Amino acid sequence: MITTRAWAGRRYAVLGLARSGAATVQALLTSGASVVAWDSDETRRLQILPGTGRGTGAAGGGGAPQAISSAENPLHQPAATAALQPASRDDLPPADRSHPLRPPPRTGEDLSLADPLSLDLAGFAGVVVSPGVPLNRHPITQHAGDVPVIGDIELFAQARAELPPHKVVGITGTNGKSTTTALIAHICETAGLPTRLGGNIGLPILGQDPLTEGGVYVLELSSYQIDLTRTLDCDVAVLLNITPDHLDRYDGFEGYAASKARLFAMQSKGHAAIVGIGDEASAAVARQVARSGRAEDLTRIAPGVCMDQSRWPALQGPHNAQNALAAIAACEALGIDAAAIDRGLESFPGLPHRMERVATVNGVLYVNDSKATNPTSTAPALAAFDRIHWIVGGQAKTDDLDACRPAFGHVAHAYVIGEAAPLFARLLTDDMPVTQSGTLDQAVRAAAASARAGETVLLSPACASFDQFRDYEDRGDSFRSAVQALA
């Protein structure tokens, strides 16, 4: 795990004990800090206590040793249940589920349980909160006063000085950041660089072992994580795009865009800034970086650049052309040669639930794009295939599908499901044939009956999943099962 002497002898509160919070507690304790931990989920509180009988807290510290959850880890870090939930856990995804976290060290009075809102936090070095805690609604910011409210990425930034020499790539954006982050990490590994994937993807960064000298930490950073970070100086910072999302957490769209821009404000001059300029908000960030005296550091990724993507099976569609361009620019900034970049692009396997090719049945391609939880995210998938049988619906985040409209000509038939089915049927019926299927299983069966060889059945819901599923991963897994049943 990542530790630092800088935390030794200091006191921290940790609010939210899901995977990143549990890893944070472990890293702080191992570094010699004392920790007061809390989660509204009693199970997580019990699991985080040491089993020595010396831990303190309302639940007690005795009994058999308790380990952190043995459930396998998702690709993305889930939101904590520390109080109010984020607007949609669908925005916090899945899939490398092979590395269970280790239990925390068994310490005594260094770890206790208490809600930080019940404590006088004067003298604490920081309150480390889950990104899922909405700072604009949760009282912890006001209660903390002058005590810094930070996240695990800020702790990582503080630990960097004691790590072997390395570089950090930070990637943010409303859409495409998971694919771009995983692609950059894959290219780095292809080039033989020691690499760690973290942030909002993979394992918690503090729970991973430090890299050897010359390594690269590749971090997907949501706006929530950037909000909780103060000193992360990325050697390479990437902004893909900014479109309206998570506006319940910000003072309008401008506040959301400003959160993304902070990734570059934390950078030193001479460190690479890569910005997609396909939308006005991102273009404004690029201008801001240039005006700050860092024009030489800036690479702009323009929309609509034609590329030969025929050798990149997992990177199809115009949106993935932009993702690939950003990844290429980032890897070039790291000094990776063109041949290694090409090998990485060609061998990249893609991400589960993101334009994932599930199967071809009777000549029909079935594609799982369950991660597309808003219309802007669905639009690229519609543009990537011809003759689509589109399964769409769930809990709508918007009352229109305007972002998808430019690709409506690719849709042969739409199958609407979930709460949004009546709304989407009205929105789509003038542009394409529509079937109100209701459930995902019914939609898959109806699409399979209608689709012909050479066509595509695409699950790209443009909605959250909670009306019918646990999360979008569960929805994507259900789609896979329905497709497998066809065969």
Average pLDDT estimate for 425-442: 98
Answer yes or no: do 270 and 396 share one domain.
no
Answer yes or no: do 132 and 235 share one domain.
no
* 400, pLDDT greater than 60: yes
Contact status, residue 431 vs residue 400, Cβ threshold 8 Å: no
Answer yes or no: do 177 and 325 share one domain.
yes
Q: How confident is the model at residue 109 (pLDDT cuts 50, 70, 90)?
A: low
Average pLDDT estimate for 339-362: 94
pLDDT at 248: 79
Answer yes or no: do 34 and 143 share one domain.
yes
Tell me, what CATH number does 201's domain have?
Answer: 3.40.1190.10
Answer yes or no: do 302 and 195 share one domain.
yes
State the helix-helix crossing angle for 440-450 and 472-486, rounded to 10 degrees.
40
Answer yes or no: do 388 and 481 share one domain.
yes
177 an active-site residue?
yes
pLDDT at 282: 97
Query: Bridge partners of 112?
Result: 36, 56
Host domain of residue 22: 5-150
Largest Cα span, the chain: 67
Predicted TM-score of the model (pTM): 0.80
Answer yes or no: do 126 and 187 share one domain.
no
Nearest to 216 by CA among 238, 236, 239, 240: 236
* 21, pLDDT greater than 80: yes
Average pLDDT estimate for 123-152: 95
Answer yes or no: do 342 and 376 share one domain.
no
Answer yes or no: do 339 and 362 share one domain.
no
Burial of 367 per CB tally in 10 Å (0-12, 13-18, 19+)? buried
Please state, as a whole number, how many other Cβ atoms lie within 10 Å of the Cβ of residue 361.
Answer: 16
Contact status, residue 480 vs residue 459, Cβ threshold 8 Å: no
Answer yes or no: do 125 and 37 share one domain.
yes
Tell me which of 305, 321, 347 is where a domain ends: 347
Tell me which of 318, 347, 376 is where a domain ends: 347
Catalytic residue among 76, 166, 177, 389: 177
- For the chain, the average pLDDT equals 88
Question: What are phi and psi for residue 169, nearest 5 degrees?
Answer: -110, 125
* 80, pLDDT greater than 60: no
Q: Which residue has the higher pLDDT, 103 or 339?
A: 339
Answer yes or no: do 324 and 177 share one domain.
yes
Residue 3 and residue 24: Cα distance in Å, rounded? 10
* 486, pLDDT greater than 80: yes
Structural domain tally of the chain? Answer: 3
pLDDT at 50: 62
pLDDT at 255: 93
Q: Which two tokens stand for residue 38?
A: 């809390």
* pLDDT tens string 266-284: 999 999 999 999 999 999 9
* 101, pLDDT greater than 80: no
pLDDT at 83: 38
* 471, pLDDT greater than 50: yes
Average pLDDT estimate for 439-467: 97
Helix (H, G, I), strand (E, B) or coil at 112: strand
246 an active-site residue?
yes
Catalytic residue among 76, 166, 186, 200: 200
Q: How confident is the model at residue 110 (pLDDT cuts 50, 70, 90)?
A: very high
* pLDDT tens string 286-310: 999 999 999 999 999 998 777 889 8
Catalytic residue among 138, 186, 246, 397: 246
* 88, pLDDT greater than 80: no
Please state, as a whole number, how many other Cβ atoms lie within 10 Å of the Cβ of residue 269.
Answer: 9
Answer yes or no: do 364 and 460 share one domain.
yes
Q: Which two tokens stand for residue 473?
A: 């991963």
pLDDT at 246: 73
200 an active-site residue?
yes
* pLDDT tens string 47-75: 988 642 334 444 333 222 222 222 333 44
Please state, as a whole number, how many other Cβ atoms lie within 10 Å of the Cβ of residue 256.
Answer: 20
The percent of residues in the chain predicted with pLDDT above 90, rounded, is: 77
Q: How confident is the model at residue 244 (pLDDT cuts 50, 70, 90)?
A: confident
Tell me which of 284, 313, 347 is where a domain ends: 347
